[in-house]
Amino acid sequence: MTKKKDGDAQVDELLTSINTAFKDSDFSIATEKDFISKLDWLSSGNYAINYSCTGDPVKAIPFGRITSLIGDSGSGKSLLADHFIAETQRIGGLAVLFDVERAGYVNQMEKLGIDTKKLIVSGSKVLEDIFEKTIFFIKSFEEKKLDIPLTIVIDSISQASSRAEVEEGFEKADMKRAQVIRKGLRMVSGLISDNKVCLIIVNHQTQNIGNPYGPAKVMTGGTAVEYFPSQIIEVNKGKVIKDSKDMPIGMEIRVKIFKSRFHTPYITARVQVYFGRGLDPISGLFDIMINLDILKDHKGWYAFKDNPDKKYRESEVRDMLLKDMDTYLKMFPIGELMAVGIDGA
C-alpha cells in the first residue's frame, strides 16, 4: 500500500507541476505573495483616523492599493489628501499630485507640512491623459529602480473630462466617461500593486435625486470608483470651532470608513482641523482610548488604566501624549475591533 504524502508536500508538488506548465510561474502560497502578505502603510497624520482605518494608530492606508476619499464640497477631502502627501515626504517618499481642480496653493500646502520644492504637480484635466501619465510615471519609477515610497494623488477625478467630452463640447452628453475611468483603474491597479504605489483618488458625492429607494448620495464616475478602491474614506463637515472672541479657527470633521478590505468598516473618527495648520494629530484619540479602557474619564479628570489613582486634566494628558506618544501607543490592542463613533449613517 502506497504511503499517503504529507499535505504540504502534495501542495508543493502540485504548484511545481502547474508552474512548469505556465512560463510565468505565477502560482504560490499566499504568504509568499508580497502583494497580499507584505503591505507597507501610510499614516494620515492623525492617530484616531489611523486607528479607525486599520486598528493600528500609526497606519491608515496601504501602498500597492487604491484609496478613495469622498465627500461634499468643503468637507476636507483635499486637506486629508494633502496630509497623506506630507506623510509620504516625511518618510522619505515622493509624491505626485494631479491638481485637476487647480485648487492647490503653495502657501497652504507648506503650512500642512508639504515640501513644495519636492512635490511633483501636473495640471492635466483630461482623464485619458491622467491615466496615461500615471502609468508612464510608475513604469519610469520601476525602470530607474527607485527604492522609495511613491504616492500619487488625483484631485479630483470627478472634475476631469474625457477626451470625447472635450472634443464634442456642450452639444453631446458624455457617455464614455465612466468607461474611461473603469479602463484607467483597471490598467493601473496591477501596476501600483507590483510597484507598491499608493494611489489616492479624490471624488465628489452628489445628491441621488429621483431615486427615493437608493442611497441619499452617490459617487460620481460610475461603478468603477466603488469597486476598485480597497478603502473608501468618507469625509463630512461637522461643527465650526471658534475662539474666545467667537471667531472661527477651525472645524470638526467626521471621517467614516465607508469601505475597507483591512479592518471593520463604518467606523467614524471625529477629529479637529485648524485653519492654517490642518489636522490636530491628537484629536479624536481620547474617545478611542476611553472606549478601549486605556483611559478612564472621571468627570473632566482622566486616569490611565495602569495608574488609576493618578488623575490628570485633559490638557495634561494631551501634553503627555505629545511628549511620549510611542509609550502610550504600546497600550493599544493592534487590530482590535471596536465601535468608536459608529453612527449608523
Per-residue pLDDT tens for 240-250? 999 999 999 99
Q: What is the 3-state secondary structure (H, E, C) of the chain?
A: CCCCCCHHHHHHHHHHHHHHHCCCCCCCCHHHCHHHHCCCEECCCCHHHHHHHHCCCCCCEECCCEEEEEECCCCCHHHHHHHHHHHHHHCCCEEEEEECCCCCCHHHHHHCCCCCCCCEEECCCEHHHHHHHHHHHHHHHHHCCCCCCEEEEEECHHHCECHHHHHHCCCCCCCCHHHHHHHHHHHHHHHHHHCCEEEEEEEEEEECCCCCCCCCEEECCCCHHHHCCCEEEEEEEEEEEECCCCCEEEEEEEEEEEEECCCCCCCEEEEEEECCCEECCCCCHHHHHHHCCCEEEECCEEEECCEEEEEEEHHHHHHHHHHCHHHHHCCCCCCCCCCCCCCCC
16-69 tens-digit pLDDT:
888 888 877 777 777 776 666 678 999 999 999 999 999 999 999 999 999 999
Residue 340 has pLDDT above 60, yes or no: no
Give 335's pLDDT tier (boundaries 50, 70, 90).
low
Give 344's pLDDT tier (boundaries 50, 70, 90).
very low
Residue 4: per-residue pLDDT: 46
Homologous superfamily of domain range 35-284: P-loop containing nucleotide triphosphate hydrolases (3.40.50.300)
120-136 tens-digit pLDDT:
999 999 999 999 999 99
Chain centre distance of CA 318: 25
Other beta carbons within 10 angstroms of residue 320's beta carbon come to: 15
134-174 tens-digit pLDDT:
999 999 999 998 889 999 999 989 899 989 888 887 777 66
Domain ranges in the chain are 35-284, 293-330
Average pLDDT over residues 301-330: 89
Residue 192 has pLDDT above 70, yes or no: yes
Give 298's pLDDT tier (boundaries 50, 70, 90).
confident
Of the ranges 149-153, 223-227, 292-296, the best mean pLDDT one: 149-153
Phi, psi torsion values for 302, nearest 5 degrees: -130, 145
d(CA 60, CA 74): 22
Q: What is the share, in percent, of the chain residues with pLDDT greater than 90?
A: 56
Average pLDDT over residues 208-212: 72
Higher pLDDT, 10 or 74: 74
Question: Locate cell 460620481: which residue?
Answer: 220
Residue 94: per-residue pLDDT: 95
Amino acid at 44: S
